[in-house]
Amino acid sequence: MAQATNFGFGEDEAMLRDSAIKFFDDNCSPDKLHGLVAADSDVNRSNECHWQQSLWQQIGELGWTAACIPEAAGGMGMPLVAAVALAEEAGKAAFPSPLISTFNASFVLTAAATDNANKTLAEIATGRAASLAITNEKGSWEGSDTDVEFIDGKLSGTAYFVQDARKSEILVVAAKSAAGVGLYVVNADSTGITIEADSIIDLTRDQAHITFDKVSATEVAAAGDGDSAINQAMPSILCITAADMVGTGEWLLQTTVDYASTRIQFDRPLAFFQAVKHPLVNVMLAIDAAKSLTYNAACAISQEPENGEKLARMAKSAASDMAVFSSSRAIQFHGGIGFTWECFVHLFFKRQMHNQVLYGDAKYQRAKLADLLMGKAA
């Protein structure tokens, strides 16, 4: 089946994206962001979760969480490129919110495709924040690997590396029983749930390990069906993460270009010197390839899903390498200022560091891709 030449990014998607650009311009300038998440530079500062819940409520009213949820489940049924565009803009603002985690939870629920999953999707469509509790202590991205068990109708065990856990109201938990891995939905404030925040480098997000002690939960994918739902959603999750990196990378590029064009040394702006100019052009090339690969993968997931996984792994690989490159050059070319806490660049640098390893770094994606395209090595 042929893909649309415009990646399926039509007028509705462009309108939604433009509303996001305005929203972030109005509400999340870098200096406001720095004041919100980086007011305290003390290395022993308390591990608080800094975000603006009021903005999240507005996002719910704008319908962003409903955008890519199927109409049958109460959403707007837009193609994945719509969420990709929103994630790209959120990355450009390094926006602290559960937007990405909520998208990713909704992809897994959509893949599960049960009545109970649809009921949860309908809640997300109204603006309730969600997150996936599907990763084990060893940080495996395989759908079949979880340390949580489902025994006698109750969840027990610990889920690790849960994204934006303290901002989420709903948890989608992968848990294993004799019949295999199933998916279960719980409210994050349910009795028996302990959320222990990780102390993470990225100041624009939060992450936690969550312990379940005999917690009652609603089954959204039967035991044995959960890992396939996760694996089916993974290409979408990779696209969203890549889109966040593309947006963050673009902010780093433009900000560094501006700085290098105005900072004078040796009587010249830094960007006069090709030792600075050419690497910044290389950053642009890396961003553009990652962006095109991300929209391509997102379009394929909607229009030719059989190619979704390999194209999404290409996108995440390109975006992860670009994340390192765009952020390292931004710090380096900001010089001594770039190495300080007061310079905004570190917020975006750290967001890229987080994105780089989330759901598997570039080398991991390429190893998976090689198995898909070449067969396993002997």
CB closer to other proteins, 221 vs 270: 270
Report how far residue 268's alpha carbon sits from residue 265's, in angstroms, rounded to the nearest whole number: 6
Min separation Cβ 322 and other proteins, Å:
10
Min separation Cβ 23 and other proteins, Å:
18
Contact 197, 47 (CB under 8 A): yes
CB closer to other proteins, 97 vs 296: 296
Q: How buried is 37 (Cβ within 10 angstroms: 0-12 exposed, 13-18 middle, 19+ buried)?
A: buried
Min separation Cβ 279 and other proteins, Å:
9
Min separation Cβ 223 and other proteins, Å:
35
- Contact footprint for other proteins (CB under 8 A): 2-7, 9, 13-14, 17, 253, 257, 260-261, 268-269, 271-274, 277-278, 280-282, 284-285, 288-293, 295-296, 299-300, 304, 307, 310-311, 314, 317-318, 363, 366-367, 369-370, 373-374, 377-378
What's the helix, strand, coil split of the chain in %, to 5? Answer: 55, 15, 30
Min separation Cβ 353 and other proteins, Å:
21
> Which one, of 265, 270, 242, 240, lies nearest residue 326 by Cα?
242
Angle of helix 362-374 versus helix 308-333 axis, rounded to 10: 150
Q: Tell me the CA distances in angstroms from 75 to 88, 209, 219, 289, 303, one per residue in order.
A: 21, 30, 21, 31, 19
CB closer to other proteins, 50 vs 277: 277
Min separation Cβ 49 and other proteins, Å:
33
Any idea what the Cα angle at residue 57 is, between residues 187 and 10, rounded to 5°? 105
- Give, for 281, the enclosing helix (H) or strand (E): helix 274-303
CB closer to other proteins, 185 vs 260: 260
The one-letter amino acid at 10: G
Min separation Cβ 247 and other proteins, Å:
12
Max Cα distance, the chain (Å): 74
CB closer to other proteins, 3 vs 144: 3
Contact 198, 162 (CB under 8 A): no
Contact 164, 101 (CB under 8 A): yes
Q: Tell me the CA distances in angstroms from 283 to 262, 274, 286, 296, 321, one per residue in order.
A: 19, 14, 5, 20, 10
Min separation Cβ 245 and other proteins, Å:
14
Residue carrying structure tokens 């985690």: 101
Min separation Cβ 305 and other proteins, Å:
12
Tokens for 154?
């109750």
CB closer to other proteins, 65 vs 317: 317
CB closer to other proteins, 156 vs 282: 282
CB closer to other proteins, 6 vs 194: 6
Report how far residue 325's alpha carbon sits from residue 28's, in angstroms, rounded to the nearest whole number: 24
CB closer to other proteins, 7 vs 107: 7
Min separation Cβ 66 and other proteins, Å:
21
CB closer to other proteins, 7 vs 160: 7
Phi (first) and psi of residue 133, to 5 degrees: -110, 80
